[in-house]
Amino acid sequence: MHTRILGLIVMSGVGFAAAPSPQPFAISPRLVTYAPPATPMPLAQAIAQIRQESGIAVTVDPAVADSPMPSVSFPAIPFWSALERITTATQTRLVMADHGQHIRLVKRTGSPMPVAVHGPFRVAVRQIESRHDFETGSQLTLVTLAINWEPRFPVIRLDGEPTRITAEDDLGSSLRTSPSSAKVAPLGYQHTTTVRLLGVPRRAARITRLNGVFTVTAAPGMLPFAFTDLTQPGMGTLPPGIDTTAVSARLVRFEKLDDRWEAEISTTYPLGHPEFESFESWTANNRAQLIGPDGTKRLRPIDFEINEVGRTATGIYRFRAADLPQGPTGWKLVYDTPAALREYPVTFELRDIPLP
């Protein structure tokens, strides 16, 4: 896997600032380039170029689609950094839909979000709230963060709240925090969390710096194993160009039981596979489907079950026998499972967060 050495790019409402570089992120971000044409183009047309180059579903709200794209340019930079440059120049903001799978630029009506980008991850301040407890006299400031990643690879779990948090206000005070150590399984390609800052002085006007780390368990993509002869047990194959040595998948059986066809698939992961608690699952993104001889008809299982033991998972997927009246001859089974899982730190630094 090719890894690009990328630093952390920090953004605020007034532009970009280079922050100290964290360790390169092992899953490379999609890189995009934009050079303004001689004749200005509509924003929607410029975003269409970004979408085509990145392969990520990003669109523009019709209300701003015909707005002229400013004369901004950038070399090959991470996808999220490119979008932040464009939103800053066009007075727009990013809205995530379908659990982060679709990204849309809409007109910005509020203040710009402080944002940090680390590889394929984006961390943005969504909301900030101050609370005063009259019984104890304590001050609590809640900073809500939205974490998104490029919607093309699975994150199996991540810290529910960032760790190793350091923060400072514009009075020079170092702020205390009370983070949790719990991990969560995200839904889709996003996660929302809250950082609790203690004792922020009333006289403070902004948080000048908020640093932290998320540890994520992720894979660089999904592996589409194909089984073309369902009458025989055997190893699945991957498309050309995909590493076939790290993860293996084997069709244990494909047999008819009463009114159903049952497929049993065993996947084995390499050494270094992260450890999971008994209540955690690392196969929530796994999918199986049958594809007909002409490649057009596709069947989803009517139910399934997966058993995970260490770095091996065994899935049983059931299909209606009535959907295969001639049996499985000519059909193939495609099984999507994550590539090798590893744990990665996502480092962020957010600056100049206005206090309410």
60 and 47 in contact (C-beta within 8 Å)? yes
Contacts of 301 by beta carbon, 8 Å cutoff, 6+ apart: 263, 288, 289, 317, 318, 319
Confidence at 39, pLDDT banded by 50, 70, 90: confident
Residue-averaged pLDDT of the chain:
90
What local confidence, expressed as pLDDT, does residue 102 receive? 96
Q: Residue 159: which domain range?
A: 9-219+342-354
Q: Say how many C-beta atoms besides its own lie within 10 A of residue 211's C-beta.
A: 19
Closest Cα partner for 107 from 147, 145, 72, 67? 67
Residue 12 has pLDDT above 70, yes or no: no
Backbone phi and psi for residue 85, each to the nearest 5 degrees, phi listed first: -65, -40
The arithmetic mean of pLDDT across residues 275-297, rounded, is 94
| 349 in the same domain as 327 | no
| 257 in the same domain as 143 | no
| 170 in the same domain as 240 | no
| 145 in the same domain as 32 | yes
pLDDT digits (tens, 9 = 90+) for 164-213: 999 999 999 999 887 777 899 999 999 999 999 998 888 999 999 999 99
In-domain check, residue 62: yes
Between 340 and 177, residue with greater pLDDT: 340
Residue 3 has pLDDT above 70, yes or no: no
| 243 in the same domain as 94 | no
Q: Are strands 248-257 and 183-184 parallel, antiparallel or unpaired?
A: unpaired
pTM above 0.85, yes or no: yes
The arithmetic mean of pLDDT across residues 303-323, rounded, is 97
Between 254 and 40, residue with greater pLDDT: 254
| 308 in the same domain as 227 | yes
Confidence at 56, pLDDT banded by 50, 70, 90: very high
| 163 in the same domain as 310 | no
Confidence at 17, pLDDT banded by 50, 70, 90: very low
Measured CA to CA, the distance from residue 92 to residue 101 in angstroms comes to 19
| 31 in the same domain as 130 | yes
The arithmetic mean of pLDDT across residues 137-151, rounded, is 91
Measured CA to CA, the distance from residue 28 to residue 315 in angstroms comes to 30
| 204 in the same domain as 168 | yes
Q: Which residues of 112-138 are buried (b: 16+ CB within 10 A; e: fewer)?
A: bbbbbbbbbbbbbbeebeeeeeeeeee
Structure tokens at 67: 């707005």
| 195 in the same domain as 56 | yes
In-domain check, residue 3: no
Write the CA distances from 52 to 45, 46, 287, integer angstroms.
11, 10, 26
Residue 245 has pLDDT above 90, yes or no: no
| 38 in the same domain as 185 | yes
pLDDT digits (tens, 9 = 90+) for 213-239: 999 999 999 999 999 999 999 999 999
In-domain check, residue 151: yes
| 301 in the same domain as 273 | yes
Measured CA to CA, the distance from residue 92 to residue 111 in angstroms comes to 10
Residue 7 has pLDDT above 80, yes or no: no
In-domain check, residue 2: no
| Distance, C-alpha 270 to centroid of its chain | 23
CATH for 253? 2.60.40
Bridge partners of 175?
167
Q: State the total domains in the chain.
A: 2
Contacts of 172 by beta carbon, 8 Å cutoff, 6+ apart: none
The arithmetic mean of pLDDT across residues 142-162, rounded, is 96
